[in-house]
């Protein structure tokens, strides 16, 4: 398996390990929200988003687990290409989350003024 990809995932896991319980709580609160409750403020938005991301993460795990059964032990060019694509998508997702966090922080700062 591509060692750079494994290192990327390890760094990501280490970085987010401390926030795991907060994430799980946000997902649970987001799942408990009623549709259309985004008017409850930025926290409701973030919690709803967390629930959506968690749902998509579970789908991705299922897809990867299903595809993992048919992959050869030695990675071929196709697997390497797919891992590169996945790493790119993870970087894109991180950028989107950082942008969203900056927007939420901006809204919170305006509210505090």
pLDDT by residue (tens digit) across 56-66? 888 888 888 88
Q: CA-CA distance, 84 to 65, in Å (whole number)?
A: 18
Phi, psi angles (nearest 5°) of residue 35: -55, 140
**67 band by pLDDT with thresholds 50, 70 and 90:** low
Q: How far is residue 71 from each of residues 57, 65, 75, measured CA to CA in Å? A: 21, 10, 8
Residues 6+ apart with CB under 8 A from 29: 47
Q: Evaluate if residue 71 carries a pLDDT over 50.
A: no
Neighbours of 26 (CB within 10 A): 20
Taking the alpha carbons at both ends of the chain, their separation in whole angstroms is 50
Mean pLDDT along residues 46-71: 76
pLDDT for the residue numbered 25: 79
């Amino acid at each position: 398996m591509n060692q750079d990809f494994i290192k990327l995932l390890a760094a990501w896991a280490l970085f987010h390990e401390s926030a795991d319980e907060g994430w799980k709580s946000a997902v649970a609160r987001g799942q408990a929200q009623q549709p259309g409750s985004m008017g409850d403020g930025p926290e409701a938005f973030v919690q709803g988003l967390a629930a959506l991301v968690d749902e998509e993460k579970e789908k991705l795990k299922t897809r990867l687990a299903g595809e993992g059964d048919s992959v050869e032990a030695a990675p071929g060019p196709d697997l390497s290409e797919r891992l590169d694509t996945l790493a790119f998508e993870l970087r894109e997702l991180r950028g989107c989350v950082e942008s969203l966090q900056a927007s939420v922080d901006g809204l919170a700062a305006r509210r505090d003024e």
